[in-house]
Amino acid sequence: MEAFEDFRKTAFPWVDTQNKRDRLEHIKLLEQEVRKGVLGVTPLREGNKAVRSRMKTRIVQAGPSAAVKPSADMKKLYAKLGSIVPT
């Protein structure tokens, strides 16, 4: 491996300099992004109403009873577990 590094430095002496320049350029770009400050996320809007995510839309369409009502499988699981809270 050492012989290959010597060959590379002899055959391509400019590679080390270019790598250093590339690294410094990347550091400068990252520093510029950091100087911009905190990343802010704002919700999108269509006209006057906010755009909902697909998950929120599904939950709203299903209604409040779908979120509260446990399925038959969950009822079976709870029956197997028994009382979790000691009395």
Span 71-81, average pLDDT: 79
pTM, 2 dp: 0.41
The residues, any chain, with a CB within 8 Å of residue 43's CB and separated by 6 or more, are: 50, 51
Q: Which structural domain, as residue segments, surrounds residue 32? A: 2-81
**The tokens of 77 are what?**
């699981």
The answer to whether position 86 is within a domain reads no
- Rg of the Cα trace of the chain? 30
For residue 50, list its beta bridge partners. Answer: 45
The answer to whether position 87 is within a domain reads no
**The tokens of 45 are what?**
């809007």
Local confidence band at 82 (pLDDT 50, 70, 90 cut-offs): confident
The answer to whether position 48 is within a domain reads yes
Please tell me the total number of residues recorded for the chain in this structure: 87
The residues, any chain, with a CB within 8 Å of residue 42's CB and separated by 6 or more, are: none
How many structural domains are present in the chain?
1
pLDDT in tens, 14-55: 999 999 999 999 999 999 999 998 888 776 666 677 677 788
The answer to whether position 69 is within a domain reads yes
